[in-house]
Amino acid sequence: MFFELTYTSKAIPNLDANDVFLLQSKYRELNDRKGISGCQVLHNNRFVGILEGKEIKVRKLFSWIEEDDRHIDVTILANGLIDQRQFEQWNMIFQIDMGDSKVGMNEQLFKDNLISLTHLVEKRTYTSRIFWNSVRELLEKE
């Protein structure tokens, strides 16, 4: 049995691309070590993230994340028990509002593709549906 949790928050105004890059390369390693997988989107200074793993590990990590002063208004959108991971193959962060050269393709195209993905991706649980719907809302909002 695993546990998944999806949350949203607002990045602090002076969080720059470098901070985000540092955050994401570090996360992946830390999460791997804790057996946590997930996905995160940052757009228009808002984060939407999902974490999955052993309940105790996810809750502990989330309690740190909640206290991180690089973001505010941290809110849990949904959480629950799952029998299978869904985000093992995902990169931790999609970052699509940090200038135009980051993603190696036109930002709008990347965004459109990601919106399509939110429709297409299989959503086996309530929490993952909330995650993908929130990602879509975030991307569609200007």
Ligand X SMILES: Cc1cc2nc3c(=O)[nH]c(=O)nc-3n(C[C@H](O)[C@H](O)[C@H](O)COP(=O)(O)O)c2cc1C
Instruction: Kindly state the smallest distance separating residue 81's Cβ from ligand X, in Å.
Output: 19
Site residues, ligand X (CB under 6 A): 9, 23, 27, 30-31, 38, 47, 49, 61, 64-65, 68, 70-71
**Which pair of structure tokens corresponds to residue 56?**
């105790």
The residue (of 49 and 114) whose beta carbon lies closer to ligand X is 49
Interstrand relation of 2-11 and 93-95 (parallel, antiparallel or unpaired) = unpaired
Instruction: Kindly state the smallest distance separating residue 5's Cβ from ligand X, in Å.
Output: 11
The residue (of 105 and 131) whose beta carbon lies closer to ligand X is 131
Closest CA to 135 of 15, 21, 38: 38
Query: How many angstroms separate the CA atoms of 108 and 33, rounded?
Result: 34
Query: How many angstroms separate the CA atoms of 78 and 125, rounded?
Result: 10
Instruction: Kindly state the smallest distance separating residue 100's Cβ from ligand X, in Å.
Output: 23
The residue (of 31 and 125) whose beta carbon lies closer to ligand X is 31
Query: How many angstroms separate the CA atoms of 133 and 79, rounded?
Result: 14
The residue (of 43 and 71) whose beta carbon lies closer to ligand X is 71
